[in-house]
DNA sequence: GCGCGTTATGTTATAACATAACATTTTGGC
DNA sequence: GCCAAAATGTTATGTTATAACATAACGCGC
């Protein structure tokens, strides 16, 4: 990643055709996709890429904040808000894999920072990946369980 | 993973020789290790394993709570407290890779749960992996930077 | 101690995720 | 048009993890 066009400057992002293809695929998918799932879908549209081509487009989109990389599941998801907060929460449903993005409320961030600062730890901006069960899947449980 | 000897029953954990080898290696290392780094170190002691052998021991140790798997960096670290809290914070230094484990204070957990519950999201027990710069590395910056 | 089911380990092969290294093409300023 | 920078193409390989099946060790009732 040798981009870093300055933080949050993605308004000026250069969306080449390759990058648009990748972004569109991710936007169409209700779930995060792995790089290879992405390659498969593009192949379904007649676009044959080697892995580096996909990874380069993904790296770029992550850098400019249009896509998030979910480290905990090694998948990529389009940023629903097209924003680029320095901190946010990503709620990952372990049932359906859907991801919901939430801002990190200030009190929560403050608490996190002060907790870690007590140990001399300087928290970096990052996405908080939280696992759980989403509203739909939780509701489904109610109707199927006795 | 077909273990699940009941949560937190690791007092009765069956530490076979293989599992002890893995646990000792992780305990000796100041940094988290990947499964293959672990295999290399064992090889250095004349213990030649195929990957599944290491992964099985790691899976077991993670299941009983003696080892944590750091999803964000795909590495394994011995639990310093030999405890098995359902929630905790893992502070991962991006400079030196060392990991510090902290309990998750109740107010912080409460805030997290209420925030996510507003979206109908039921948070599962998990380790919070937080990236930052640890005290030592932060102090080192002070002495080397102008 | 013997038979037997369970648990653990050994072994081979391969799946899944990611990048190094180098060649070629495209873009944009002059 | 010329050039440098950026983007893309291409080949090969590195890294992380697991499927599938074979064998060995353990523990328990008898």
Is residue A19 pLDDT above 70, yes or no? yes
Dist CA B28 CA B49 (whole Å): 19
Residue of A111, A122, A138 with shortest CB distance to B120: A138
- Nearest residue to C16 (CA, C1')? A36
Is residue A43 pLDDT above 90, yes or no? yes
Distance measured from the CA of protein residue B8 to the C1' of nucleotide D25, in angstroms: 26
**What is the DSSP code (8-state) at residue B33?**
B
Task: Could you list the beta-strand ranges (E) of B1-146.
Answer: 67-70, 75-78, 88-93, 99-103, 122-123, 127-133
pLDDT band at B141 (very low <50, low <70, confident <90, very high): confident
Is residue B54 pLDDT above 80, yes or no? yes
Residues B3, B9, B12, B15: is their CA dihedral positive or negative? positive
A50-59, A67-76, B1-10, B125-134: the lowest-pLDDT one: B1-10
Dist CA A91 CA A111 (whole Å): 19
- Nearest residue to D11 (CA, C1')? A50
Minimal CA separation from B10 to chain A, in Å? 24
What average pLDDT is seen over chain B?
89
Helix, strand, coil share (%) of chain B residues, nearest 5: 40, 20, 40
pLDDT value of position A85: 72
Percentage of chain B modeled with pLDDT above 70: 87
Q: pLDDT (tens digit, 9 = 90+) per residue, B74-88? A: 999 999 877 667 899
Phi, psi of B112 (to 5 degrees): -60, -50
Q: The pTM is what?
A: 0.89
Residue of B100, B116, B131 with shortest CB distance to A119: B100
pLDDT value of position B13: 61
pLDDT value of position B7: 46
Residues from chain A that touch B113, judged by Cβ atoms under 8 A, are none
The structural domains of chain B, ordered by start, are 10-144 (1.10.10.10)
pLDDT band at B146 (very low <50, low <70, confident <90, very high): low
């Amino acid at each position: 990643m040798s981009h870093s066009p300055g933080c949050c400057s993605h308004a000026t992002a250069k969306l080449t055709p390759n990058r648009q293809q990748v972004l569109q695929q991710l936007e169409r998918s209700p779930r995060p996709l792995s790089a290879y799932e992405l390659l498969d879908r593009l192949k379904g549209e007649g676009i044959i890429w080697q892995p580096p081509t996909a990874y380069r487009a993904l790296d770029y989109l992550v850098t400019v904040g249009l896509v998030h990389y979910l480290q905990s599941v090694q998948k990529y998801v389009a940023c629903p808000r097209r924003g680029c907060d320095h901190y946010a929460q990503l709620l990952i449903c372990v049932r359906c894999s859907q991801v919901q993005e939430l801002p990190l409320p200030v009190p929560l961030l403050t608490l996190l920072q002060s907790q870690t600062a007590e140990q001399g730890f300087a928290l970096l901006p990052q996405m908080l990946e939280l696992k759980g069960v989403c509203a739909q899947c939780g509701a489904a449980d109610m109707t199927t369980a006795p």
